[in-house]
Amino acid sequence: MVLNDEKSNVSGKSLMTALQRQLRESLCPWKATESSGELLLSRYFKQAQHLEELLTRTLKLGESNSALVIAPRGTGKSVLVNILLGRLGESGILGNGMVVRLSGLVHTDDRLALKEITSQLRLESAAANKVFASFAENLSFLLDCLRCGNKESSKPVVFLLDEFDLFCHHRNQTLLYNLFDVAQSAQAPICVIGLTSRLDVIELLEKRVKSRFSHRQIYLFNEEKFDPHYLDTFKTLLHLPSSFPNKSFAKEWNTHITNLTKDANVCSLLKRQYDTTHDIRSLKTLLMMSVCQLQVEQPQLTYQMLAQAQQNLVAETKTNVLQGLSILQVCLVVAMKHLTTVYEGEPFNFEMVFREYMKFCHSKSSMQSYERPVIFKAYDQLKSLELVRPVDNSKGVQREYQLVQLMMTPYQVNEALLQLQGIPTDLQQWASSDIV
């Protein structure tokens, strides 16, 4: 598949431009194409059906509802809701209904949230000359403005609260209380959908807020396996649709992508990515970096492109920081790597790291061992470099017992050690071996 053999150089460049545009659109982290959207809907069919039914009852029948969509980051919560709203819009059910989107990362207090609600409902002029005694009065006025006589003729409103758990930290949870109160008392047809990755989010709600919430929770647990689910996602993200300008090229490209998933080297690379994180956004980032290497002379995606992209992806700043560490600090990083593996990512403290290091010194190392104060100072410097991060800010806990996490994966540590010069053989073997 060489473009220069089929067309002129100008045509080859235009075809490559169309290919890059199509693939970059498919690999956008926060969006889903038609094919990837269908894949997402098929995996969460029951949950999507439940959520669509709630939205339909609000938009069509004027019934008020509230629900939480709970799933790990990168699962596709926001994308799923947007796809359902798009389908309702195409079918005409959305009609005169309005969608208000709020984010806990942006709207950090109720004042900002209310201002955004006013803006998205386009009621700035109506509320400009009004003086409100409370938040509830202001919100009630906004919803009243959407009424045209009675409940049946009121405009339904869908509130999407992204990062819902952050709204729980607002003072008195006034926004949540009033939204759930309106939904429960059926003052106006609204549907409140919260999106969060915290399983304990219900426990963050105050008692008065919790009593007005429907306690309807929709879980999107990612149960996909590497084969076939992850590989299917890989093929779907790189698939060229039938609308692509050059039909023959699209057919060849799609066949080539299917063949890539049967290549042992490519599968090994993707398995490594899958073991590091199941987040589809990380896979999209890997593929985006690979796609950027495509040229007119090389229009095929190759294993070398994927390998180069993965190498650039894992070569983070923290990996480069290891280049300037002392041997003692590298020993502590290896000890933390082993603890991370043993306890499956659970936090640890200095005492555990110290014990792991001393076991290495006494059993398998001919290296010089250091005194405890020296080791603790080296450990403290790793915290200053942010290679180690405290999991909480508990006061009154001695620093030796403060729980921390290593901010690198075991794979990243191993890859970084391979690039370090002058590492003692004992240390290299300890890093690549099983736990002491």
Q: Is pLDDT at 368 greater than 80 in this prediction?
A: no
The CA distance from 331 to 96, in Å, is 63
Beta bridge partners of 159: 100, 192
Reported confidence tier of residue 436, pLDDT bands at 50, 70, 90 = very low
- Highest mean pLDDT (candidates 30-39, 159-168, 179-188): 159-168
Residue 29's nearest CA partner among 362, 265, 363, 286 is: 286
Per-residue model confidence as pLDDT tens digits over 278-319: 888 888 889 999 988 888 888 888 999 999 888 877 665 666
Q: Answer whether 45-219 and 318-432 agree in fold.
A: no
- Residue 37, SS3 per DSSP: helix
CATH-assigned architecture of domain 318-432: Orthogonal Bundle (1.10)
Q: For all residues of the chain together, what is the average pLDDT?
A: 84
pLDDT more than 70, % of the chain: 92
Neighbours of 6 (CB within 10 A): 13
The per-residue pLDDT for 147 is: 63
Quote the pLDDT of residue 322: 79
Separation between Cα atoms, residue 365 and residue 249, nearest integer Å: 58
Q: HEC states along 300-365?
A: CCCHHHHHHHHHHHHCCHHHHHHHHCCHHHHHHHHHHHHHHHHCCCCCECHHHHHHHHHHHHHHCC
Q: What is the mean pLDDT of residues 71-77?
A: 84
Tokens of 46: 């029951």
Percent of the chain with pLDDT over 90: 28
Q: Are 375 and 357 in contact (CB under 8 A)?
A: yes
Binned at pLDDT 50, 70 and 90, residue 70 comes out as very high
Residue type, 60: K
Q: What is the pLDDT of residue 7?
A: 42
The C-alpha atoms of residue 239 and residue 104 are separated, in whole angstroms, by: 34
Write out pLDDT tens, residues 210-251. Answer: 999 999 999 988 767 888 888 888 998 898 888 888 888 889
Is 434's pLDDT higher than 70? no
Q: What fold characterizes domain 45-219?
A: Rossmann fold (3.40.50)
User: What's the pLDDT score for residue 430?
Assistant: 85
202 vs 75, higher pLDDT: 202
What pLDDT was estimated at residue 20? 87
**Is the pLDDT at 162 greater than 90, yes or no?**
yes
153 or 100, higher pLDDT: 100
Question: What per-residue confidence (pLDDT) applies to 394?
Answer: 63
The Cα 290–Cα 22 span in angstroms is 14
Domain positions in the chain = 45-219, 224-314, 318-432
Long-range contacts of residues 142-150, Cβ cutoff 8 Å, at least 24 apart: 142/117, 142/118, 143/182, 143/187, 143/188, 143/190, 144/188, 145/121, 146/98, 146/121, 146/188, 147/188
Q: In which band, very low, low, confident or very high, does the pLDDT at 350 lie, cut at 50, 70 and 90? A: very high
Residues shown for the chain: 436
